[in-house]
Structure 1
Amino acid sequence: MPKPPRQVTIAQVAEYAGVSQASVSRVLNRNQTVDPSIAAKVREAVEKLNYSPSQTARNLVRGRSNTVALVVPDLENPMFQGVLKGLSREAANDGYRVLVADTSERVGEEEEIAIEARSRCDALVLVSPRMPAERLQSLIARSGPTVVVNRPVPSDPAAELSVDYESAARTLGEHLVSFGHTRIAYLAGPPQAYADRLRRRGLAEFVTRYPGVELVDLAAGSQVEDGYRAADAFIASGATAALAFNDLVALGLMARLREVGVDVPGEVSVAGVDDIPLARFAAPALTTMSVPRIEVGAQAWRRLRDAMAGHPATHPLSYRPILEVRGSTGPAPEASGWLSPGRPVLRIGAGIVARYEEGTTIDSVLSPRPFLHPVTTLGGVRVTDSHPTDHLHHFGIGVALPDVNGTSYWGGRTYVQDVGSIMLENQGRQRRDDLHVDGERLVERLTWTDEREIAQLSEIRELSGRAVRVGDDDGWALGWRSTLHANFGALEFGSPATNGRAGAGYGGLFWRFPTWDATVVTRDGVGEAAAHGSTSPWLAVVDPERNVTVLLLQSGTDAPLPWFARVAEYLGVGPAVAWDRVRTLAEGERLVLGLDALLLDRDVLDPAELERSAAFLDATRDRSPVPPSRPAPRA
């Protein structure tokens, strides 16, 4: 192999030009005091010899390298990769590069590696350093500009950039408790990791708030293999939920649980911390605390850049993670009733039969509102549809009114007298102000705001769920009661029918079913023609093909409201507030809308049997008093 050509030196350039090396150096550094004739000789020599100045030599002359060092304990961890990405991207914008050093969790060598990295660079970023506090203090004192991520710096708090892992652990604990878990395992991180201490603090505070919770401490680590190895100890602990040090540990744990046939989240729940990219692609997707990794890296550069310019930060900065609820967490095996106030689910027996969505992601033209979906029978047959292609503004079970003082809380097109259905900018929204779950009951307080975000009315909504037995059939009963308060002024409730479209008096408590070839039955007869407009106190939707019956019983009003019933075009039913005439409420008055539903895994078409079931439902339903109104402030 031929030897590579030797690089031309500054001494050879000086010899060729017939000048001193110092003169060559001054010319290369654009010193304006050099004699023009000497500068011309140097430039000619540089061109003839094809001289390229050594970057290292230039750095020595200038006293800077335009490089900063990043030292991490484990570069395989996507959390640290995210910090590197943010740091590198921001540094590049300012003409800097990042040199990365991985200590591979070798605590004894960490300080030496950091010192060597700093000797080659202009400044230093330490991420989650593991070394003892006194060694860290000494390193920072002699390293010049330094930013430390996830570790306190008592001598220079302004150098601190952290993530609030204490609140992250506390929030995850509360999330698991909301699902009924009372024995929770913590798969701990590396003992020398300060982030592990923060998590332990958060968990200690969490346990004091929930004295009925038992926390099991299990040794793990920070890598996938650590979670995998800890799985057997977790299973033996009897815990129904695991809170892992980070996402990697959680993913390793889930991999081993899957191998041994433990269902997540059916038998146990698993949660992590960091929200690394793989978290939402796991099977099931991992519930975790989301950390802005890239932003942490970007902010580390900004602080480092300012420190190098002589303008160090004046205070520490901390980021609070955000809970990302996904499929890896669910109710504890023994839990029942309404669970998880964040995104409530209703568990009856061994399964989840309903989920309550806040509806904040609904498009504004579809009138955002909370709704129940999916809702299933005990046998697992889904009895709701949401956002169907035929009517995008139908969302499971909810309260939807097409005309409240001219504002649509139904969504989509509005029917206008002598014009027809057109798209208007009059869609309002139902805003959640408060939510509380307690066993079989969920209580929510809402404010309905118009298209200008001005409050029109407030609502107290109560949902309940319980197991029932009707004859030889096991089923469950859903209770829904909405109390609408005219506490912001008088109200007029209308519908397309009151605006001139015959037969379209929909609006109120509305239940959108899937696309079934079903039959509707009321006291007045069988079929859509008999049900539509009927004032029967009950209505049943029966699907013989799926062996399902949903019996709906009106409650809360002095007399039954007319039923709106669609079967041929789509399957959706509900008692209508403004069937063929406008309903008014004076300021201070209220309107109660209620339904009790019986869900059975059997098709019941006999009107007499349905009548008896309706009487049973009426006799056993919740008759607790309507809570007093607590008006929301005017918006």
Structure 2
Amino acid sequence: MAEYAGVSQASVSRVLNRNLTVDPAIAAKVRDAVETLNYSPSQTARNLVSGRSNTVALVVPDLENPMFQGVLKGLSREAALDGYRVLVADTAERVADEEEIALEARSRCDALVLVSPRMPSERLEALIARSGPAVVVNRPVSSDPAAELSVDYEFAARTLAEHLATFGHTRIAYLSGPPQAHADRQRRRGLADVAARYPGVEIFDLAAGSQVEDGYRAADALLAAGATAAIAFNDLVALGLLARLRELGVDVPGEVSVAGVDDIPLARFSAPALTSMSIPRIEIGAQAWRRLRDAMAGAPATHPLSYRPILEMRGSTGPAPESTGWLSPGRPVLRIGDGIVARYDEGTTIDSVLSPRPFLHPVTTLAGVRVTDSHPTDHLHHFGIGVVLPDVNGTSYWGGRTYVQGVGSIMLENQGRQRRDELEVDGETLVERLTWLDEREIAQLSETRTITGRPVHDAAGREAWALGWRSGLHANFGALELGSPATNGRDGAGYGGVFWRFPHWNAVVVTEDGIGEELAHGSLSPWLAVVDAERDVTVVLVQAGDDAPLPWFARVSEYLGVGPAVAWDAIRTIAEGGRLVLGLDALLVDRTVTDAGELAELARLARPVGPEAPLPPARPAPRA
């Protein structure tokens, strides 16, 4: 080309490399020659001159595994931003060939990424010494800690085992991975820790592997061993296990719970959706490139980096078949009989303008009819069953708009939140301690909350269940004034206290005063029933607490929500150091009852049996 253009080879090189100091006339000759000769530079020749290939090698044990595909995606995308490409090598779990494949890949590239290598540690260390710069994912590298990029799989296994143990599972199978895998050894350490801390829990091994077929083949042995739960080495194994259990007609999670590790994209689309420990696959790949880039530039990282997985609890795990009461203190569920009748949500995902707080939802009857609604379009700040007060010293724990006399309902920056400080579950009882924080994150009060659930049989032997709620509001941080829109001039809007938001039903409400919203709203009846004939459901609510009965707040025509009103038409005060106990008992019945006498009898069954246990004492939280 230099001869055709009538210039030197050095001039051609400078033009092709976009050197702006080249004489414009010479540059024009070179560009004309490039176009005429249809010339394209040889990347191989350039590599020979520069000593670089602008490629990096990724070596994985099984490219079909979506976990490794995610790492590849993150690595490729990030490297491309710096003008690099990725060469991929799959060892197909052949440990004997792994070192040779890695060396060959490195000979063609500028750097090396090894993901979950299976080779012995001494060979791995020698390989890194020969092949740097390198990054190793999921293996310790003692000779070069900066090359280490890992996931805390010990924590992942421990978290899953604790999750299943708190669901009442006492016989848990671990479907183990490749015996030479470091990640498998990490998982075993986490499982051993849980077995040591939960004396009644047995965790045993079933040989499996790392692929879908391995989980499929392990299903029969799992059932023969009498396990009620399984932790698979990874999601692929878990998905294979789910497929075989489905073929065998085994109910998941009713008979067997299944969990995996990695949270691959297919996990949430399985049937049922798979509980898994989420790993930031793409971020790991991107971080691997950043470390390689820095190492190639002569500024390597100075420390190893480890990621901690996050539990994604989905439908494939649930209570052990024989368990009952409150289970799983992390995300508690209430099991009565053969099913889960209530779930308790911490409420941390609620938007700040809706006053985040813990709540019960969904709540169902024994027959599975849902009796709560959450975040409905008509009132986005309604969340199942909870304690909500629209005015505590001017702060709203109701959420949404605030009623201002003479102005109306407007949005103010006055929404507080209820923060969980401690949670315990024991049989039929859940105990929670909370701090209520105002819009400035300053503690206003503390709460001790007790929620109970128990089976009930009526006089005819029909099954139902009873829910009990007690909240002690403690004025630890100063005197409290509890108000409502009604205390600020909005007639009939004295809501606030234990509030139950029902679904959109064509229901009726019944009190001692009769049937209908007009009679129920403001009634001092000790009980109130919500009756839906279409679904054949009756929920009887009974007041409890310091000043029961309070006036009932009851909405039916606009939406269906009820609860005893703490500040019906006057501000309620709690002196500093004082306490106010709010309470509600409920009986959930799968039949239609409108007779006042029978409803009164059901209300009696809703009350706790025997002397009621006192609320736990408050534990003052520090001002936030």
Normalised by the shorter chain, which TM-score bucket?
A: over 0.9
What residue is the counterpart of 2:48 in the other structure?
60
Distance in 2 between the 1:45 and 1:605 partners?
96
Distance in 2 between the 1:46 and 1:416 partners?
76
Of 600, 606, 615, 1:611 maps to: 600
What residue is the counterpart of 1:516 in the other structure?
505
**Matched-pair contact (CA < 8 Å) for 1:71–1:127:** yes
Q: Which runs of 5+ in 1 are unaligned?
A: 1-12
| Superposed displacement of residue 522, structure 1 | 2.1
Residue 18 and residue 407 in structure 1: after superposition, are their counterparts in 2 closer, same or farther (change >3 A)?
closer
What residue is the counterpart of 1:546 in the other structure?
535
Given the two structures, how large is their TM-score scaled by the length of structure 1?
0.93
Distance in 1 between the 2:28 and 2:458 partners?
104
1:455 aligned to 2:455? no
Distance in 2 between the 1:47 and 1:267 partners?
72
**Matched-pair contact (CA < 8 Å) for 2:433–2:618:** no
| Superposed displacement of residue 559, structure 1 | 3.9
What residue is the counterpart of 1:8 in the other structure?
none
| Superposed displacement of residue 421, structure 1 | 2.1
| Superposed displacement of residue 621, structure 1 | 5.9
Q: What is the identity, as a one-letter code, of the residue corresponding to 2:173?
A: A
Distance in 2 between the 1:379 and 1:19 partners?
89
What residue is the counterpart of 1:6 in the other structure?
none
Distance in 2 between the 1:44 and 1:559 partners?
95
- Runs in 1 of length 4+ with deviation above 3 angstroms? 13-32, 36-53, 615-619
| Superposed displacement of residue 609, structure 1 | 2.4
**Matched-pair contact (CA < 8 Å) for 1:216–1:237:** no
Q: What is the identity, as a one-letter code, of the residue corresponding to 2:526?
A: P
Of 399, 412, 420, 2:400 maps to: 412
Residue 385 and residue 20 in structure 1: after superposition, are their counterparts in 2 closer, same or farther (change >3 A)?
closer
| Superposed displacement of residue 202, structure 1 | 1.0
What residue is the counterpart of 1:502 in the other structure?
491
Given the two structures, how large is their TM-score scaled by the length of structure 2?
0.94
Q: What is the identity, as a one-letter code, of the residue corresponding to 1:337?
A: G
Alpha-carbon deviations, 1:19-51, whole Å to 9, x = none? Answer: 99999989988999x9x9999999998787655
Which of the pair has more CA radius of gyration?
1
1:595 aligned to 2:584? yes
| Superposed displacement of residue 425, structure 1 | 2.3
| Superposed displacement of residue 83, structure 1 | 0.7
**Matched-pair contact (CA < 8 Å) for 1:414–1:422:** yes
Name whichever of 523-532 and 367-376 sits farther off.
Answer: 523-532
What residue is the counterpart of 1:102 in the other structure?
90
Distance in 2 between the 1:622 and 1:83 partners?
59
1:300 aligned to 2:265? no
Residue 138 and residue 562 in structure 1: after superposition, are their counterparts in 2 closer, same or farther (change >3 A)?
same
What residue is the counterpart of 2:342 in the other structure?
354
**Matched-pair contact (CA < 8 Å) for 1:347–1:353:** yes
Residue 161 and residue 529 in structure 1: after superposition, are their counterparts in 2 closer, same or farther (change >3 A)?
same
Q: What is the identity, as a one-letter code, of the residue corresponding to 2:378?
A: D
Residue 353 and residue 89 in structure 1: after superposition, are their counterparts in 2 closer, same or farther (change >3 A)?
same
Distance in 2 between the 1:624 and 1:415 partners?
38
Q: What is the identity, as a one-letter code, of the residue corresponding to 1:81?
A: Q
| Superposed displacement of residue 303, structure 1 | 1.0
**Matched-pair contact (CA < 8 Å) for 1:216–1:239:** no
Distance in 2 between the 1:280 and 1:294 partners?
17
Residue 112 and residue 607 in structure 1: after superposition, are their counterparts in 2 closer, same or farther (change >3 A)?
same
Q: What is the identity, as a one-letter code, of the residue corresponding to 1:234?
A: L
Name whichever of 169-178 and 518-527 sits farther off.
Answer: 518-527
Q: Which runs of 5+ in 2 are unaligned?
A: none
Distance in 1 between the 2:18 and 2:541 partners?
88
Distance in 1 between the 2:117 and 2:411 partners?
58
Residue 619 and residue 463 in structure 1: after superposition, are their counterparts in 2 closer, same or farther (change >3 A)?
closer
Q: What is the identity, as a one-letter code, of the residue corresponding to 1:562?
A: P
What residue is the counterpart of 1:283 in the other structure?
271
Question: Secondary structure of 1:173's partner?
Answer: helix
Distance in 1 between the 2:438 and 2:394 partners?
9
Please give the root-mean-square deviation of Cα atoms over the aligned residues, in Å. 2.7
| Superposed displacement of residue 501, structure 1 | 1.6
**Matched-pair contact (CA < 8 Å) for 2:587–2:605:** no
Distance in 2 between the 1:428 and 1:42 partners?
70
Alpha-carbon deviations, 1:180-215, whole Å to 9, x = none? Answer: 111111111111111111111111111111121111
Residue 554 and residue 15 in structure 1: after superposition, are their counterparts in 2 closer, same or farther (change >3 A)?
closer
Alpha-carbon deviations, 1:138-176, whole Å to 9, x = none? Answer: 211211211111111122222111111011000010011
1:629 aligned to 2:618? yes
Of 570, 578, 598, 1:581 maps to: 570
Of 57, 63, 81, 1:75 maps to: 63
**Matched-pair contact (CA < 8 Å) for 1:126–1:149:** yes
Q: What is the identity, as a one-letter code, of the residue corresponding to 2:431?
A: V
What residue is the counterpart of 2:463 in the other structure?
474
Instruction: Count residues with an aligned counterpart.
Output: 623
